[in-house]
Amino acid sequence: MFYKFKKHDMVSKKLFYLFVFSLTHLNLFCQESYNGTLKVSLRQADSIFVVNNLSLLAEKCNVDAAKAQIIQARLFNNITLAATQVAYNTEYKTKGGKQWFDFSDQGESSLQVQKLFLLAGKRNKQIKLAEANANREEENYFDLLRTLKFSLHSTFYAIYSLEATILVYNKEIASLQKLIEVFQNQFEKGYLSKKELLRLKSALFSLENEKLGFINQLIGSQSELNLLLHTNNLHYLPQPDLNILESLSMEPLKLQVLIDTACVHRYDLKMVQSDLNISELNLTYQKAVAVPDLTLSAGWDKNGGYIHNYNFVGLQFDLPFFNRNQGNIKAAKYNVESARYKLQSAVDHVKSEVISAYKGALENDRLYHQFDKNFVKDLEELNREMIKNYEKKNIGLVEFLDYYDAYKTNAIQLNTLENNRINAFENINFTVGKDVISNK
C-alpha cells in the first residue's frame, strides 16, 4: 500500500533532515573549533612531549632540588662566634674607666669561638642519604616519563583509529543519504511505501548516533593529546608509519628475556630498590647519631675571670647515659624490613605485568595476522553492488540493511583490531621499561 505525502509528513521530514544535517556537520564544527590542524608523526610527538610536558618539567625541578641537597650535605658546620661587651660600668666612679661601653682596661669584654665536629661518620652518611634521595627522585622522573609516554602513544593511535572509524561512518552516511534522497522522490510520487522510507531514515539516524559516540571519544582523545604536548587546542592528525607497524612481530621476543630486562630497566622497581637502600642508610645514620658529637671552644675574657685577660679552651659532648637514640634505631630497623617485603612484592608485580603483556600481545598479533586484510575491501565492493541492486529492487530492504551493517561492523572491528595490536606492543614496552619493540 502506498501513501500520499501529507502536511504533517512534510514537517516531520524537515525536522528529520535538520537533525541529520546537525549530526553530519558536527565533526566539521568540532574541527573548526580548534586553533589549527597539525599532522604529526609519533617521533615528532615524542620530541614535543619531552620538551613541553609540564608534569615532566615539574618533576625535573624536583630532581634538581634533590641534587641541591647533596651540595648542602657536603657543607661543614659553621664556626660560632660570641662577643660580649659591658654596656654600663657601675664602678666607673670608684675604679675609673668609662660609664658607657667601657673598652678601657677597667671595662669588661669577652670573645668566644665554637666549632661542632660530627663524629662516627655522620657527615659522610648524610651525604650518602642525600645522594640516595636524589637518585630516587631521578628514577621517579624516568618512571613518570615511561608512564606519560605510554599514555601519549596510546592516545596517538587511538586518535588515528577513531579518525579511520569516523571515515567509515562518513562513507556509509553519505551513500545512505543519497539513497534516501532518491527514494524520497519516489515516495512523493507514490512509487515507494512510507514504511520502507522510514526504515532507511531510521538506519541513517542510528548511524549518525553511533558516529556521534566516536566523535565524542575523539574530542576527549584530542584534549588528552593537547594536554600531554602542552599545546593550545590543536587538532592533531596522527601519521603513523604503516609499513613499520605491519612489520612488527612477536617472534624475536622471549618471555624470560623480557622479564630479566624489566627487572633491570623498570624505574618504578628501581624506586623500591632505592627505598630499601635509603632505609639501610638511615639505619646506619641513626646508629651513628647515638655517638655524641664533639664541640671545641676557645675564648678570651678581659675582666670576667679569676685573672685579668683570662684565656681558655673547652671541650663539650653529651654523656649517653639515657638517650642513645634507641627508638629511632628500632624504627629504622623495621623500615628496612618493610622495604625488603615491598621490594619482593614489586618484583613479583613486575613479572606478572610482563607475562600478562606478553600473552596479550601474542593473542592480538595472532588474530591480526589471521584476519584477511582484503576482506573489508571485498566487502566494501560488495556493499556498493548491494546499493545498486537495492536501487534496482533486485534485493529486499532487510537483506540490503544486513549487508550494509555487516560492512560497517567489520570495518570498525578491523580498526579496533589494529589499534589493540599496536597498544599490545606498546604495553610490552611499558611493562618492560624499555623500547624492545620500535614502531617509529
pLDDT means per 10 residues in the chain (440 residues)? 38 42 46 77 94 94 96 94 85 72 79 93 95 97 96 96 94 88 78 79 91 95 95 92 90 94 96 97 96 93 83 91 94 97 97 97 92 74 78 78 83 91 96 87
| pLDDT at site 376 | 67
pTM of the model: 0.84
Specify the residue for cell string 632505592: 274
Alpha carbons 20 and 207: distance in angstroms, whole number: 10
Give the relative orientation of helices 255-265 and 267-289 as an angle to the nearest 10 degrees.
Answer: 40
| pLDDT at site 288 | 95
CATH classification number, 7-77+120-290+325-432, choose in 3.20.20.70, 1.20.1600.10, 3.30.70.890, 2.70.70.10: 1.20.1600.10
3-state secondary structure labels for all residues of 233-278: CEEEEECCCHHHHHHCCCCCCCHHHHHHHHHHHCHHHHHHHHHHHH
Q: Which three cell numbers stand for residue 307?
A: 685573672
Alpha carbons 68 and 73: distance in angstroms, whole number: 9
Alpha carbons 108 and 181: distance in angstroms, whole number: 111
3-state secondary structure of 229: helix
3-state secondary structure of 319: coil
Residue 170's DSSP bridge partners are none
Q: Which three cell numbers stand for residue 103?
A: 673598652
* Contacts of residue 298, Cβ cutoff 8 Å, sequence gap at least 6: 112, 113, 312, 313, 314
